[in-house]
Structure 1
């Protein structure tokens, strides 16, 4: 995956892309949560992590692209907000306890990876993701 595609995909996963008619918008990480149809898509999480891998050189630049930061922060913030005790998905009984567990784990993994990449610690940035992929996270 190249840098431009990674940026584009993140913009769809964060629902920040202005092309709301593109199916990637409503089928992206945040898009499937509003309105939530009852099914999570782990492939969205994996694609976000692959985007982060492709964007390592961009994230580690002195002046990082604001759109990358906004996309990642939107994904983390809104996921946590919507599954919080008072969040729209929890309040309306739209997500199960198991789904909430996964959404929170995915947002934690994304956040940890992003923070490590910002700190130029790419050697450990994907440790939690690797553990998740190896069924060692939970």
Structure 2
């Protein structure tokens, strides 16, 4: 995946693609939550693969606001729509406790990676939780932070 492809994919997963016909706009990471039917683990892995690809950009002295907005949006709206008490998925009993726990783990892994890249901890540290997740049957236990 090229950097440009990863950038576009992250925007689409965040619902911020300039192309409303992009298939990930409605079915991507945030799109799977609204309207909610089920979690799609493939979306999580695409976000992480794209994040690995753009990691060098996040370690530059100046970062792209649009990219940061997409990453922040994935984490913020994922929590606001599905995990917070009184969120639309919680108050309407649309998300199971197991799915909420899994989504919480995914969002923690994504946000830790982004934070680590931005504070210059390095890519190895940034993706440690995700690598642990992959090594342990894709989430059979909590990822370390």
> TM-score higher than 0.5 here?
yes
The residue that corresponds to 2:132 in the other structure is: 131
Question: For the aligned residues, what is the CA RMSD?
Answer: 1.1
In 1, Cα distance between equivalents of 2:62 and 2:107:
24
Q: Deviations over 1:2-59 (max 9, x none)?
A: 110011000110001132222221110000111112x211010011111111011111
Query: For the Cα contact (< 8 Å) 1:116–1:125, is it kept in 2?
Result: yes
Aligned counterparts of 1:29 and 1:123: Cα–Cα separation in 2 = 24
Residue 69 of structure 2 aligns to a residue in which SS?
Answer: helix
TM-score normalized by the length of structure 2:
0.90
Task: Tell me whether 1:34 sits opposite 2:34 in the alignment.
Answer: yes
Where has structure 1 moved over 2 Å in runs of 4 or more?
Answer: none
Q: Which structure 2 residue ranges, 5 or more long, are not aligned?
A: none
Aligned twin of 2:61? 62
Q: Which moved more, 1:3-12 or 1:114-123?
A: 114-123
* Equivalent in the alignment of 1:79: 78
